[in-house]
Amino acid sequence: MRRPLVALALTSLAGLASAEPPDALKPMAFLAGHCWKGTLADGKKTDEHCFAWMYGGQVLRDTHTVRGADQAVFTGETTYYVDTAAKRVAFLYIENTGGFSTGSVENGPEALLFPDGRYTSDGKTMTYRARWTRHGDEAYETWSEAQTPKGWATMFKVMMKRTD
């Protein structure tokens, strides 16, 4: 007896629920299932990222909110996935103002490295890079730089602390 196509699809999806993340995403696993929050340099705004596995651990989702005086200043979402053609972790970030970023993530010896990503908004593109250095199970430091005509310049450095 042949099983209906819907039953086959549901069986396949049920298998995904218990799947482990691909090896390439495992260095980011400490982020999943948690929210992380830091205070920006001005001392008035906070930056919060909440990570969750999607599609049975095949994709890591990061919902991002910057708040000032308890109001969202802007929001965005990043999807991290394995680009099997390029054999690396890639990401797409989209924010509520229409800007977006694309790039990749490498597992460095002491940090997650985001080499030369591209941010595009209003027809303009900026090249940036970032480094997330883990501080145990409760925090990580994020450091982002932008490429300028005079070289690389720090955009921000924030200690992100686990909030749950």
Decide if 29 is inside a domain: yes
How many domains does the chain divide into? 1
Decide if 136 is inside a domain: yes
First-to-last CA distance in the chain? 49
Give pTM, 2 decimals.
0.86
CATH number of the domain to which 74 belongs:
2.40.128.20
The DSSP string of 112-138 is EEEEEEEEEETTEEEEEEEEEEEETTT
List pLDDT tens digits, range 62-92. 999 999 987 888 899 999 999 999 999 999 9
Domain extent for 51: 20-162
Decide if 31 is inside a domain: yes
List pLDDT tens digits, range 110-161. 999 999 999 999 999 999 999 999 999 999 999 999 999 999 999 999 999 9
